Structure 1
Amino acid sequence: MIKLFVGGLRPDVSEMDIAMLIGLYCNIETVKVVRDRATHKCKGYAFVETSKVDDAQKVISALNGESFKGNTLTIKISEEEAPKAPKFPKYTTRKPIR
């Protein structure tokens, strides 16, 4: 899966708005609008997953820098962090108590 970052979104944007816009250029697997927990308004960005790199490049070249509902979009391939190794407590060796 290729994950696209979509920034510059209005607070009232919905998943369907994004799907209708980006769906013109690629097959969408998932759409995740990042929302404020208290107000449930969009924080200004979302993530869209597609299965092909070529489709992702089409979306970027067609929509990056374009206006959507009055805001300028920023679209790029998302660079995910590598999974972090779990932290375990450090154990010290001690002499047994007698």
Structure 2
Amino acid sequence: MTNLYVGNLPWSTTEAQLRDSFAEFGEVSSAKIIEDRETGRSRGFGFVEMENGADEAIEALNGKDYGGRSIKVNVAKPKRESRF
């Protein structure tokens, strides 16, 4: 399983749209748009977990136009431990 970071998403992107965009490359386990805790609005990035096809998705989608924006797609880095 590979967790992908997807950045520079249009604010209007839904999790279903994100899932559909990656599904053509392999099996998507989950798709999550990160939202602002205060407002509930999209922060313009998300994560997609894929069972397979992650390399193909990165190759095909990184730097491509998505809703008028050039998206960034790469393997997500592990979450850092909080320093506090």
Give the TM-score band, short-chain normalised. Answer: 0.7 to 0.9
**TM-score normalised by structure 2 residue count:** 0.88
How far apart are residue 38 of structure 1 and its match?
A: 2.6
Q: What's 2:32 paired with?
A: 32
Specify the SS of the correspondent of 1:61.
Answer: helix
Specify the SS of the correspondent of 1:37.
Answer: coil
RMSD (Å) for aligned C-alpha atoms: 1.4
Letter in 2 for 1:71: R
Q: What's 1:90 paired with?
A: none
Q: Which consecutive segments of 4 or more residues in structure 1 shift more than 6 A?
A: none
Higher relative contact order (CA 8 A, sep 6+): 2
**TM-score normalised by structure 1 residue count:** 0.76
Alignment gaps of 5+ in structure 2: none
Check 1:48–1:71 CA distance in 2 against 1; reply closer, same or farther (3 A cut). Answer: same
Alignment gaps of 5+ in structure 1: 85-98
Seq. identity, %: 26
Letter in 2 for 1:69: G
Deviation string for 1:33-80 (max 9, x for gaps)?
10112322210100000123xx11000000000000001010000110
Distance 1:6 1:14 in 2: 13
- Paired residue total: 81
Select the structure that is richer in strand.
Answer: 2
| Alignment check: 8 A CA contact 1:65 1:72 kept | yes
Q: What's 2:57 paired with?
A: 59
1:76 pairs with 2:71: no
